[in-house]
Amino acid sequence: MRWTLATLAALASLWALGAWMAGGLAFSVAGIRVSSSDPTRPLIVAAIALGAYVLASGIARTFDEILLLRAWLTQRRRAALLTAAILAIGLTHNSWSAGGPDSYSYVTAADLWLRGDLKVRVPIADAAPWPNALGTFTPLGYRTSPAETAIVPMTGPGLPLLMAMFKGIAGHPAMFLVVPLTGALLVWTTFLIGVRLGSGDIGLGGAWLLATSPTFLMMFKSQMSDVPAAAFWALATYWILGRTARSALAAGLAASVAILVRPNLVPIAAVLALWPLVEAGRAFQARLADPKGPRRTMNKHDTANTPATAARTFQVRVAAFALATLPGCLAVAAINNWLYGSPFSSGYGDLSTLFSLSNVPTTLSRYGRWLIDTQTPLASVSIIVLALAPQRVWPDERARHGARLLAIVFAVVWALYAVYAAFDAWWFLRFLLPSWPALCIGTAALVVWLFEGRAKWGRTAALVVTFALGINGIVVARARDVFPAGEGERRYATIAKLVEQQTEPSAMILASMHAGPVRYYAGRATMRFDQLDEAWLDRAAGWLQQQGRHPYVLVEDWEMPMFEQRFGGKNRLGGLRLAPVLAYRAYQVSGTIYLFDLLRPDGPTLEPPPIRDPRPRCVEPATPPALTAGP
């Protein structure tokens, strides 16, 4: 009975923490929905169970068992529990859908990889009479092919390949497990990096700070490449800090996957490749400084007994890393050449058009401000602790050099995105997530440096401050609506299924944000009205009707002023003075989306109620529409 009460208190406490951290938890077991949006109730259950446990055990026995529990909860087990909690939150708050442009691109590209062809032919574009016809049939997240009348995904190939692998093994829903799983991997690997640097406290603190970071929490539940890229670069960093050729080979394989996921971060691989050479130089300098010292300059795992053997060992490590990294680089070059016409081009355009030194002042000022606002002011100086690597934090010389490697990786990531175009929303810190393990380990190291060794209570104070910084991250995440209570991205699939019900299979849906999801989940052909020439709305609708393609417009209320401004002056239909076929307002999501039939000026409007908990959560894709001129 005592252990039952203790287990109940622990589980209820974890449930309350998860519900507070994520703004609520919900999942289904055997068709029964289990949900909790208020942490108060499980916290009350935990308090009652804990009180009953203390009464049944007595104060002395309770204290002894707390000490036993503390001894059992080693740093590795605490990190494992943290990783499991993050995975659970990621799964319960997963979008399970292709919503925004990037997630639509990644999800549909996975299906194209399984099909064996990344090019989607659009023969209707050859027949359409308006300007930029192929561009109008290109949903957000895709771009036109330079070689033929086809469209191709804009995004990198790594995440779609991982998603395709999961889907091929376990079915469609499995592809949506990739991002939560790599999020858990990122948290766990951050802990391992800290341990490899010689400090379990710093590793655990860094993992906690990363797991509670608003930027991480924002991204590890959506089908985006930011978290997977960060996870594989963290894994590559962890392995390159090893001492053997095998670990260098593993680092290269992780870097190869990371390059496939986010190709523009390939300079990180160059830094990691040079690291064994840096270590060789450090060992050589140490030998010169103490020629009569011990032949072994590292630890018992090293096999370098002579300078020649040491040089060969480091050469083998560099070669192993380079050879394992090469496949990712070659694959990206080949895919870019196939899809975009050049190994040095990408779905987003040529590199020369994406990066500019003129972006640096604006980009860095925004990233710096967002970092302080969402993380902590300590984060802005934490990287200095890694660069300086004080001996009191990392007594081992090898660990100090490893800390400096993290500082270099951090600097490379920030330098790469400093020249990238500046954006205007805080969650674009997502680009910098590959630097988060260094940032969070550096913050934990800064706290240790400030408190440990100052007094007997220094270690306890460092733990309390680190925990408080993580709690602050959760508070910031909740304030910024990182875990919305409504439908969120899942509404794209809901709207697509409503459109499917209200339109015939041969329909042509003019849309913007919803052009991709409607094509994927409703199986309806779509056009981008924001790419259609402003003088062509009426004529395009007439041409589509002649081709047996019933024209509709799907538009959110915030898009309507732009639609009317674009087409209102030159087209009879530009003012959308029609009775909508459909009007839907998603659950706890601002705004309404309307479906207009361009051939029906008046008639009834379907207004379905908001769907609080849509089922199934993961919608299967519809049969792809025929993109031909006829129906």
- Measure the CA–CA gap between 231 and 59, rounded to whole angstroms: 44
Residue 566 has pLDDT above 60, yes or no: yes
Structure tokens belonging to residue 586: 């998603």
Per-residue pLDDT at 41: 78
Helices assigned H by DSSP within 267-306: 267-289
Burial degree of 109 (CB within 10 A; 0-12, 13-18, 19+): buried
Per-residue pLDDT at 34: 61
- What DSSP element (H or E) covers 186? helix 178-196
pLDDT band at 36 (very low <50, low <70, confident <90, very high): low
Residue 297 has pLDDT above 60, yes or no: no
pLDDT in tens, 370-401: 999 888 778 878 888 888 888 888 888 888 88
- Measure the CA–CA gap between 31 and 28, rounded to whole angstroms: 6
Per-residue pLDDT at 160: 97
pLDDT band at 409 (very low <50, low <70, confident <90, very high): very high
Per-residue pLDDT at 287: 59
pLDDT in tens, 304-339: 445 566 667 778 888 999 999 999 999 999 999 999
Q: Is the pTM of this model over 0.95?
A: no
- Measure the CA–CA gap between 319 and 145, rounded to whole angstroms: 37
pLDDT in tens, 232-263: 999 999 999 988 889 999 999 999 999 999 99
pLDDT band at 125 (very low <50, low <70, confident <90, very high): very high
Beta carbons within 8 Å of 264's beta carbon, 6+ residues apart: 346, 351, 354, 416
Average pLDDT over residues 200-211: 94
Tokens 């997530």, residue? Answer: 433
Report the 3 state secondary structure along 583-630: EECCCCCCCCEEEEECCCCCCCCECCCCCCCCCCCCCCCCCCCCCCCC
Residue 150 β-bridge partners = 121
* CB-based contact 512:136 (threshold 8 Å): no
Residue 303 has pLDDT above 60, yes or no: no
- Measure the CA–CA gap between 602 and 621, rounded to whole angstroms: 32
pLDDT in tens, 427-438: 999 999 999 999
- Measure the CA–CA gap between 345 and 339, rounded to whole angstroms: 9
pLDDT in tens, 87-120: 988 998 898 999 889 999 999 999 999 999 999 9
- Nearest Cα neighbor of 549 from 527, 575, 518 is 527
pLDDT band at 423 (very low <50, low <70, confident <90, very high): confident
Q: What are phi and psi of 153, to 5 degrees?
A: -65, 145
Average pLDDT over residues 582-607: 93
- Measure the CA–CA gap between 583 and 609, rounded to whole angstroms: 10
Q: Which of 72-76, 284-288, 589-593 has the lowest mean pLDDT?
A: 284-288
pLDDT in tens, 332-379: 999 999 999 888 888 887 666 677 888 889 899 999 999 998 887 788
Per-residue pLDDT at 33: 59
Structure tokens belonging to residue 219: 């991204």
Q: Give the chain's mean pLDDT.
A: 87
Residue 454 has pLDDT above 70, yes or no: no
The percent helix, strand, coil of the chain (3-state, each to 5) is 60, 10, 30
Name the 3-class secondary structure at 551: strand
Average pLDDT over residues 178-194: 97
Residue 344 vs residue 285, higher pLDDT:
344
- Measure the CA–CA gap between 400 and 163, rounded to whole angstroms: 37
Per-residue pLDDT at 68: 75
Name the 3-class secondary structure at 545: helix
CB atoms within 10 A of CB 107: 27
Structure tokens belonging to residue 16: 């309350």
Q: What are phi and psi of 534, to 5 degrees?
A: -65, -20
